[in-house]
Each structure stands twice: as C-alpha cells, then as structure tokens.
Structure 1
C-alpha cells in the first residue's frame, strides 16, 4: 500500500512545490519510490493551473531537483486518501486542521519543520519567499532540505511498519 504525503502552502507555487520536489528526490534516493508518493497543493486557489514560481524553479534546478508542477487547491475530501498532510507554516496548519472532516484527519496535519530536530521550536514556519528576491527561495530550500531528512526517516518508519 502506497504511503501518501501532501505538502501545503498558500498558493502552491513556492514552498509546497519545493518541498514536494525535494522530498520526492529523497524518496527515490532511499529506494522508496513506488512505496511513497509526494504531492502538493495550496490552501487557496489563487494560482490554480499555473506552474511553480520561476524563482522556485530556478533554485530547484540549480540544486539538482526537477520540477514539473501545476498549482491546485487542497480539498477536504483528500484527507481520506492521504497519510500525512505537511503544512509549511502555522497558518496553513490551522487552516488544514479546520478543513479536516474528522479528528483523525486533523491529526494527519504536521508542520514540515517539526521534523527538523535543530529547528527553533518557537518558530517552525518556513517563511514565504514570494514577495522577496531569489535569496529567500534559497533559504526556503535549505529549510526544506534539512526538515526532509527527518521527515523521510519518519515516513520510512511508517512504511516499514506497514510491511511488518
């Protein structure tokens, strides 16, 4: 059975597609491709149908990640097919938990940086780089990469637990 992860930010053109691309690469490198699927969406539909922000694409490509992306809005019905919903900041976390049809679904929502053992527990947000320059996208990528290591370990544990 495939373990499904969906990364969620506001418009699904910056942070969440970056997290999806990084995590997908980690999954492939770990030999879990086919066992774990990564996806992304936005809490809002402002950019539905658009590609990822060109600055996000540039930073990802410069760091060896591929990205083929079309923005879409997260739907509450998706909770039933997802194992984990990863919010990029606390605003997304609150919005997603409000959308969750059940308490069991709400528990599936976690902050990405909660998987980064070195992160400041008082500030687990990945800042939105949209209104800044390309440097903000680089900083976003660093946070995503660091947290993805812990996230992959947690997901691997879940996947191996299912197989046992």
Structure 2
C-alpha cells in the first residue's frame, strides 16, 4: 500500500552572509535527508547581502568535501517571498532570527525558528574569523541539527496525515 503523500518540507537555512554556516547547513540537511529517504527542498540565504553571487567560503567547501557531502550554492539574500515559498526558515543564531522576524511579511506562512531550537537551543557560532576547526564544529552541529529537525518534522507530518 503506497504511503500517504505528506506535505512537502521546504527548508531555508539562514545565516548572516550565506557563505559559511547556511550553505554548509543546506548541504548537510540535503545529504542527511537523502540518506534517510526523506523528500525535502533545501536552500540557504543570508540576512545581509554582503556576498550575493559568491560561492561558499573555501573552508566550508573543504569540510563538506572531507565528509563526502555535495555542496553547490551561491550566496543570496533572504527575500520576503521566502516566507511563503518555504515551510521552515532555520536561523543560525539569535541575531539572524531577530533580523528574520523584523522583515517577516504579514502573509508569511513559514515557521521561523532558531535551528538549534529543534535540539538544544544553541546557536551555530560564526566560524568565518577562525580556523578550519570552527568549520568542523559547525559541520558536526549541522549534522545533529539536521537529524533533530528531520525527526521533528517527519514525526509531525505522520501525526497529521
């Protein structure tokens, strides 16, 4: 018997510039969802437009490659249409969460939360000004947060179907 079709999960991972945490989060969430057989649309964006059009930081790419996680994105800034296009907007830290809440339009349908709220309420620290170890820690956190997020949204969707 075929499974009931559940609402499609569309997640947007958000950090400040969209070159470190959010593209890594996007890549890791896509990879883990695929390995778990969960259909999901994932994208990433920044609350600021500093790096629009740029590829992810080379350290982000290096860590993803080391862990065999495909990564392919270009930085973009969050737009008000994202609040309707996505079902979940995952902020990397409280500052970005506040920025998202500030620009959230009245017709928003996406659930906007700190990504860490799905697990331990911890923000993802910005590794930009540090070394490769900070990027490794962000990767490990993205793995834990991806699993926690997928656990919650798949549990919720099976309860409502």
Alignment TM-score > 0.5, same fold: yes
Q: Give 1:111's match in structure 2, choosing from 114, 137, 155.
A: 114
Displacement after TM superposition at 1:38 (Å): 0.8
State the Cα RMSD in Å: 1.7
Displacement after TM superposition at 1:113 (Å): 1.2
- Name the structure 2 match of 1:149: 147
Deviates more, 1:6-15 or 1:149-158: 149-158
Kept in 1, the 8 Å contact 2:83–2:110? The answer is no
- Name the structure 2 match of 1:95: 99
Displacement after TM superposition at 1:51 (Å): 0.4
Displacement after TM superposition at 1:106 (Å): 8.0
- Name the structure 2 match of 1:29: 35
Q: Give 2:136's match in structure 1, choosing from 109, 121, 138.
A: 138
- Name the structure 2 match of 1:76: 80
**Deviation digits for residues 141-161 of structure 1 (CA, Å, limit 9, x no counterpart):** 111111111101122134435
Kept in 2, the 8 Å contact 1:87–1:111? The answer is yes
Whole-angstrom distance in 1 between the partners of 2:37 and 2:137: 27
The aligned length equals 155
Displacement after TM superposition at 1:114 (Å): 1.2
Instruction: Name the TM-score, length of structure 1 as normaliser.
Output: 0.88
Displacement after TM superposition at 1:107 (Å): 6.9
2:108 partner SS: helix
Instruction: Name the TM-score, length of structure 2 as normaliser.
Output: 0.89
